[in-house]
Amino acid sequence: MATPTPLLMIPGPVELSPGVLAAASAPPPGHTSPRLIEAFGRSIERMREVWRCGPSGQPFILAGSGTLAMEVAAANLVEPGDRALVVVTGYFSERMTAILRRYGAEVTEVTAPVGEVPATSEIREILQRRGPFKALFATHVDTSTGVRVNPEPLCRLAREAGVLSVFDGVCATAGERFDMAAWGADLYFTGSQKAIGLPPGLALMVAGERALTAREARKAAPPPLYLDWQSWLPIHHAYEERKPSYFATPATSLVMALETGLGEILENGIEARLETQARAAAALRATWKTLGLRFVPKTEEVTGNTLSVLLFPEGVDASLLPRIAARGVTVAGGLHPAVKATSFRLGHMGYTVTRPDYLRRAVEAMAGALQESGARVDPEAAVAALESGLAVPA
Ligand SMILES: *Cc1c(COP(=O)(O)O)cnc(C)c1O
């Protein structure tokens, strides 16, 4: 008998819906074909709904991974010598710092112990006393720690200080609440393989008016051609008007998948998807507690809904992972250096949160693997915790 394909429960790439898989695996359309133009235009419109950016937000759909979106943010918004403030909550915030420094930014980092978020009061203080800053950068959910920041107060502080606010949503967009227009965020980006639920390969971002203006007002040399969003604006405008255009070949198969994937996310409105996501996350948190597992994020308030970053229990080590894999579920090891050997990660975002059977398989694999590792756990109680959590509104 053929081994069944393991269930992919890492923090991206994620399991695909049948609709997304079909759209991505059809023969790739040409970049000026009517079908592609329609998919591109509709994806732009649907991104505005998922990002809640209002009509003035400008979506960009670029071929590349989430890190490309980070590069584009830095390349367009930062001129050599500009000061940037980075709120550090894990590995990916530190990557943002590294990228910003390559573009000549003078970066100030505000940090907190692993599993925590720097205090808003401290961020306010730094913005007021140590500015002027050009931009504030934060990671909505850092995939190395599972820590979630609350973007809303950060957006407000940034506005008050006349600073741009930029959020890495690579492990959050479409899985965590983000009200771009209401909060006044200036740039929010993601990669296709996380909570958007596509294969890897698209960098997706929405720039607000202030961000677009900052790029136009740039005095330093323009960014590299491919990274310069001015290169991409005319084709995005054209596609939105359902006209053919060319700057560089879009990832046409992925754009077909994007149209479908965003459509599925918006099927009952973004609010409904966020509720499904939050309920799945809360049910899993309750389940992990039943199994005696503890979390890297220190409080529930700073725990992201899109993944679980868990500590190995007493007497259990990384040999747990192959034991979970042997039960048909792939999870990920630790990433942040401080908890690399002591933690592991399980992604639950995108299409997966709409599939209670997937979540149940993950819980059964986890419970079985823990038992095999010598932990005293009750697999039936774990499954019961999951099911009662999924049954009630979050
Ligand atoms: C995955 C991830 C990235 C990097 O995305 P790639 O697609 O791997 O380049 C950046 N930030 C966060 C928060 C992520 O989870």
Alpha-carbon torsion, ordered 74, 78, 79, 82, to 10 deg: -130
Residue 387 CA to ligand 1 center (angstroms) comes to 31
Q: Which two tokens stand for residue 48?
A: 């505005």
Q: How many CA atoms lie within 13 A of 291 on its CB side?
A: 34
The pLDDT of residue 2: 59
**Ligand 1 atom at minimal distance to the Cα of residue 140:** 13
- Rounded to an integer, what distance in angstroms lies between the CA atom of residue 349 and that of residue 194? 7
The CB of 358 under 6 Å from ligand 1? The reply is no
* Continuous segment of H or E residues that includes residue 201: none
Each residue of 144-194: pLDDT tens digit?
999 999 999 999 999 999 999 999 999 999 999 999 999 999 999 999 999
pTM equals 0.97
Choosing from 10, 70, 96, 170 the residue with most ligand 1 atoms within 8 A of its CB, the one to mutate for a pocket test is 170
**Ligand 1 atom at minimal distance to the Cα of residue 144:** 15
- Rounded to an integer, what distance in angstroms lies between the CA atom of residue 352 and that of residue 116? 27
Q: Whose CA is nearest to atom 8 of ligand 1?
A: 66
- Give CA angle at 109 (184, 162), nearest 5°: 30
The CB of 63 under 6 Å from ligand 1? The reply is no
Inter-helix orientation angle 18-25/252-265, to 10°: 160
Q: Whose CA is nearest to atom 1 of ligand 1?
A: 170
Backbone angles phi, psi at 213, to 5 degrees: -65, -40
Does residue 54 surpass a pLDDT of 80? Answer: yes
Annotate 36-52 with b (16+ C-beta within 10 A) or e (fewer).
bbebbbbbbebbbebbb
The CB of 168 under 6 Å from ligand 1? The reply is yes
Other beta carbons within 10 Å of 350: 30
Each residue of 245-276: pLDDT tens digit?
999 999 999 999 999 999 999 999 999 999 99
* Continuous segment of H or E residues that includes residue 189: strand 187-191
Classify 367 in phi/psi space as left (phi over 0), alpha (psi -120 to 50) or beta.
alpha
The pLDDT of residue 130: 92
Choosing from 143, 178, 196, 308 the residue with most ligand 1 atoms within 8 A of its CB, the one to mutate for a pocket test is 143
Residue 244 CA to ligand 1 center (angstroms) comes to 31
Does residue 392 surpass a pLDDT of 90? Answer: no
Strand partners, 187: 166, 207
The pLDDT of residue 241: 98
